[in-house]
Amino acid sequence: MRLVLAEDHALLRAGLTQLLEGHGFTVAAAVANAADLDAALADADVDAAVLDVRLPPMQTDEGLRAAIAVRKQRPGFPVMVLSQYVEHLYARELLASGEGSVGYLLKNRVSDVAEFVEGLQRVVAGGTVLDPEVVATVMARQQPVDRLSAREREVLALMAEGRSNAAIAERLIVTEKAVAKHINSIFTKLDLPLGTDDHRRVRAVLTWLRL
């Protein structure tokens, strides 16, 4: 798996490169600014990207824009975006295509190496991973989803974090069968058409973020 890494802080860039390569990834390019990122993402041989939201020259949303652009050119291209702050609108923009293979984590999550690597692996495999703090912020700001029960909202929040049915069941201390039942109910209540479960999970999270 060949990755593009974009991070303007030299020490963090070097640390992430070592971490990723130590877990079986190949860092094809490690760049520090938007121009070099665009050039690196133009390489058809790269398979995924780990990007900081803010990059020189403007330090606004260069990494995010590059992620959205490459996914328009290569639908489903796996992207893990790292951010210093909780900005759930960025997560919503990344999810807008509904194709999955997207992650949005706060940078402090990288210090938990196992969690970070597991999240990246989920993204590469086609899943969606949102930082728990992003999930909590959205939950705090929005009105409850009237059509969902309290338990269904809990399940949907954990889905947004990228958790599997088994992991959700373990967190909520219920059976996987119960989780599957809740998820099917969420799909129905959010008027999501039949499709692959992974695709509908992404669409459910996107619907939730838009509320």
Q: What is the pLDDT of residues 31-84, one digit of tens each?
A: 999 999 999 999 999 999 999 999 999 888 899 899 999 999 999 899 999 998
In the chain, residues under CATH classification 3.40.50.2300 are 2-130
What residue spans in the chain does CATH classification 1.10.10.10 cover?
Answer: 142-210
The single-letter DSSP state of residue 177 is: H
Cα–Cα distance for residue pair 111/108, rounded to 1 Å: 6
pLDDT in tens, 121-178: 999 998 888 888 877 776 666 555 667 888 998 898 888 888 889 999 999 999 999 9
Q: What would the 3-class secondary structure string for 40-87 be?
A: HHCCCCCCEEEEECCCCCCCCCHHHHHHHHHHHHCCCCCEEEEECCCC
Q: State which CATH number among 1.10.10.10, 1.10.150.170, 3.30.450.20, 1.10.599.10 fits the domain covering 142-210.
A: 1.10.10.10
Q: CA torsion, points 123, 129, 131, 137, in degrees to nearest 10?
A: 150
Residue type for position 70: V
The hierarchical CATH code for the domain 2-130 is: 3.40.50.2300
- Tell me, yes or no, if the pTM score tops 0.75: no
